[in-house]
Structure 1
Amino acid sequence: MSEFSGIKVLIVEDEGLVALLIEDMLQDLGCEIVASVAGLKEACGIAETALIDLAVLDVNLGGERSFPVAHILHERGVPFMFSTGYGSSRLPAEFSGSPVLAKPFSATTLQETLSLALGLPLRN
């Protein structure tokens, strides 16, 4: 049993293949995907009400930023991590300490970033 077994995850990613890749990798770790959405409005709605333990947020959703989703999750006390190909330098100051999954990524990198977001010790 993985330390991630049963972790309920919201994925917010506008690239279909990347979303599927993240879903597969998280499921391989034992996570449960609560929802995988591509749009900001739908992501905000789910972030406000869904029972989730963690969210993976693509920073750029078709030209819109996912920061409103991050604000909702922060208010609810739900950990999240950003996923981006632009690097952490493009994050607003308020999210500068948030875990960032740099695209492209490996399963190992995803697992390490997931551990950081959840406050779990990194495995060697």
Structure 2
Amino acid sequence: MLNDLNILIVEDEALLAMEVSMTLEDHGADIVGPYSSVSSALADCDAADAAVLDVDLCGEPVFPLADRLKEQGVPFIFHTGRADLDTLRRRYGEEVKVLPKPADVDSFGPMLARMVRRKGQPAT
């Protein structure tokens, strides 16, 4: 379902980052990262077809990266335990995708595939 798509993972919890990465690889994705900081993820975000972003990275907000992805038209999911949904909707629109932690990571693959298809890229 995510064959040949580059999915950027930005998550500061190492075990969770590994779980999300392995699950998306099982869906056929190529993983960019995972990264635990905005600065490291910004260096490789141009390679991403879609992304899974934790909002709070050890106290550092992921917003500069999410802003860049939005500017580039790269779809993303916020996966977070601390985010204010109203703030995210004001900043990224009503259609912003937010999955509260702990979310079923198996749902990420189908959701990302739909988001990429909607953007106009093939998701096989």
Aligned residue in 2 for 1:59: 55
Give the gaps of 5 or more residues in structure 2.
119-124
More helix by share: 2
Q: Does 1:28 align with 2:26?
A: yes
SS at match of 1:20: helix
TM-score between the two structures when normalised by the length of structure 1 = 0.81
Give the letter aligned to residue 103 of structure 1.
Answer: K
Give the letter aligned to residue 21 of structure 1.
Answer: E
Cα distance change, pair 108–36 in 1 and its aligned pair in 2 (3 A): closer
Q: Does 1:71 align with 2:53?
A: no
Most deviating of 17-26 and 75-84? 75-84
TM-score between the two structures when normalised by the length of structure 2 = 0.81
Q: Which structure would you say has the larger RCO, counting Cα contacts within 8 Å and 6 or more residues apart? A: 2
SS at match of 1:6: coil
Percent identity, aligned pairs only? 35
Alignment root-mean-square deviation, CA: 1.9
The total of aligned residue pairs comes to 116
